[in-house]
Amino acid sequence: MSNSLTITEKEHWKDRIAKRIGRQIDKLCAEEPGFLERVDSDAKQCALESLGVAKLRAQLDRIEQQQAKLKEREEQIEAKITATVLGIPLRKAHRGYHLGDVRDAVAKQQATHRDEVLAKTPRGREILDLEQEQDHLLDTVWLATSSKQIKDLWTKVDEMLGGDETKLQREALAIDPVKAE
């Protein structure tokens, strides 16, 4: 009878002993919660110091904390913007969920203020005048090529509605009507 163990038996006993050791380690750790985490943290700090980068890592950690706080603040503000723009309760203003609606509302509101902002400068007023001419170009072309009766009617309608003819429309009205051939 041989006293030597087979490879399978050796593996079995190695696993069994490892499990018993593991249970003892778990028991020791349970007696002092967070012990291994503190050991790992302390070991990391020692490694950073021995490598000469502890101060740099501390700076980086502070920056990461600041970024996390800023990200949280950003999400809070975005939720408030969403709630305000869409007129919904803050608790329903989920980040990203209403992003398209908010973008659309802001774009529409921006368009209403664009002309006001343009009107504050000479260049802006010139752009507004050109855009108005562009928007009314079809009417202007028709007026330039219309009969006297249509031009007269246009002028009367314009007077009745408050006169918003463009410069080119006034020029078109001054052009002699096309004579029938």
Residue-wise pLDDT for 52-111, tens only, equals 988 999 999 999 999 999 999 998 898 888 889 888 888 887 766 677 777 788 788 888
Structure tokens at 173: 């009205």
C-beta of residue 64 within 8 angstroms of C-beta of residue 56: no
C-beta of residue 135 within 8 angstroms of C-beta of residue 165: no
Residue 3 has pLDDT above 70, yes or no: no
pLDDT recorded at residue 59: 96
C-beta of residue 94 within 8 angstroms of C-beta of residue 86: no
Residue-wise pLDDT for 113-170, tens only, equals 888 999 999 899 899 889 988 988 888 888 888 888 888 888 889 888 887 888 888 8
Residue 181 has pLDDT above 60, yes or no: no
CA–CA distance, 42 with 48 (Å, rounded to integer): 10
Half-sphere exposure of 9 toward its Cβ, with a 13 Å CA cutoff?
4
